[in-house]
């Protein structure tokens, strides 16, 4: 997967732009506030429907615009050359198209535009809430298990209904919704466990290539005791569930625990080491996706030099190049992009006051 043409209008301070990225590495540099990160943000918005910088789409919208419009021509290993269009209005309405046909959900766009983001916010994978790490696992499962999205929707429905029954104290309905909840919960858990079994060795290999001195362990907590069937856990917790009005245990409480020894990695590692671990997690996920689907991930790396010294920047860049994927990398300083890495398959773009120019 690579973007052959990108058109964007209505995003932050960016002037309407049209660029032809390289299928390999794309360097984007410019001063703080010039708009370089907004280019990556636009690609991420097309892929996931969300910004990696804010939770509110209004903050992404240019203050003089009433809509965000994006057009991508992409070269996909599965479908060949195709087009993706996105229209997002100020009121939140969205229209997505693939080759002119309307997509019914953001998940469809995510399937056809697999993107991994490495930016200052990705530290949340280590220091943030368990939800951040659940979403990380589920990205990997979603992109290799085609039925996972529907199974996830079924699970969320079962959880919502069981919680409603608990809140209303409708004891006559509780066994029915509990049985459905357990069935769908076990399907989600099996997918996650199978995925992480394949992911762990890939992560360990990638991390050793970035920094072999960092020793990090990944442990999966499924959301209830690993030695106890979920039916027994829910039976034991039923009275408490009725008191608080929601389900305490299940896949919605799952956690990927990232540790150094017995302590959370975020408490032990330096900021540079944390960025290295987060980068390894993201790159390993993209690499595993590539192995299992024969499709390539697009990597968005914002502020390359932040927290990384020259040695680790070089290791990260060479590793990205070895994956033969399309990469977009931003930095304030042009020299920070090229001091350790000058791939032959690349383009350089300069952004100034919202205007992007290919050099």
The annotation places the binding site at 30-37
Strands 346-352 and 17-19: unpaired
User: Could you tell me if residue 5 is left (phi over 0), alpha (psi between -120 and 50 degrees) or otherwise beta?
Assistant: beta
User: What tokens were used for 298?
Assistant: 């697009």
Bind-site residues for ATP: 30-37
DSSP string, 12-67: TTPPPEEE---SSEEEEE--TTSSHHHHHHHHHHHHHSS-SS-S-GGGTB-TT-SE
**307/275 Cα distance (integer angstroms):** 7
User: Could you tell me if residue 99 is left (phi over 0), alpha (psi between -120 and 50 degrees) or otherwise beta?
Assistant: left
**What residue has token string 């690993």?**
226
**123/150 Cα distance (integer angstroms):** 30
**331/207 Cα distance (integer angstroms):** 23
User: Could you tell me if residue 55 is left (phi over 0), alpha (psi between -120 and 50 degrees) or otherwise beta?
Assistant: alpha
* Sign of the torsion angle spanned by Cα atoms 275, 198, 289, 311: positive
Q: Yes or no: say if 166 and 232 are a contact pair by the CB < 8 Å rule.
A: no
Q: Yes or no: say if 217 and 268 are a contact pair by the CB < 8 Å rule.
A: no
**138/310 Cα distance (integer angstroms):** 33
Q: Yes or no: say if 3 and 326 are a contact pair by the CB < 8 Å rule.
A: yes
Strands 101-102 and 115-118: unpaired
């Amino acid at each position: 997967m690579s973007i052959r043409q990108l058109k964007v209008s209505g995003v932050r301070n960016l002037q309407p732009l049209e660029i032809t990225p390289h299928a390999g590495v794309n360097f984007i540099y410019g001063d703080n506030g010039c708009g370089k990160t907004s280019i990556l943000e636009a690609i991420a918005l097309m892929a996931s429907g969300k910004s990696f910088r804010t939770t509110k789409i209004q903050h992404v919208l240019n203050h003089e615009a009433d809509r965000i419009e994006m057009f991508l021509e992409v070269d996909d290993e599965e479908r060949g050359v195709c087009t993706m269009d996105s229209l997002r209005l100020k009121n939140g309405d969205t229209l997505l198209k693939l080759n002119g046909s309307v997509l019914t959900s953001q998940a469809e766009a995510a399937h056809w535009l697999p993107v991994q983001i490495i930016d200052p916010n990705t530290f949340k994978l280590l220091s943030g809430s368990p939800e951040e790490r659940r979403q990380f696992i589920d990205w990997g499962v979603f992109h290799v298990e085609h039925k996972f999205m529907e199974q996830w929707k079924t699970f969320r429905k079962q959880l919502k209904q069981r919680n409603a029954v608990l809140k209303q104290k409708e004891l006559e309905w509780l066994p029915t919704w509990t049985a459905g909840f357990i069935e769908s919960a076990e399907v989600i858990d099996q997918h996650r466990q199978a995925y992480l079994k394949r992911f762990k060795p890939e992560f360990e290999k990638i991390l050793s290539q970035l920094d072999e001195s960092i020793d990090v362990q990944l442990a999966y907590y499924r959301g209830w005791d690993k030695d106890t069937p979920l039916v027994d856990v829910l039976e034991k917790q039923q009275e408490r569930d009725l008191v608080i009005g929601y389900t305490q245990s299940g896949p919605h409480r799952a956690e990927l625990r990232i540790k150094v020894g017995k302590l959370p990695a975020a408490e032990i590692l330096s900021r540079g080491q944390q960025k290295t671990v987060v980068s390894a997690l993201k790159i390993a996920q993209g690499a595993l996706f590539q192995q299992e689907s024969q499709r390539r991930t697009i990597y968005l790396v914002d502020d390359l030099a932040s927290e990384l010294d020259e040695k680790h920047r070089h290791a990260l860049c060479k590793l990205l190049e070895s994956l033969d994927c399309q990469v977009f990398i931003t930095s304030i300083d042009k020299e920070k992009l090229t001091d350790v890495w000058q791939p032959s398959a690349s383009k350089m773009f300069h952004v100034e006051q919202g205007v992007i120019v290919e050099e």
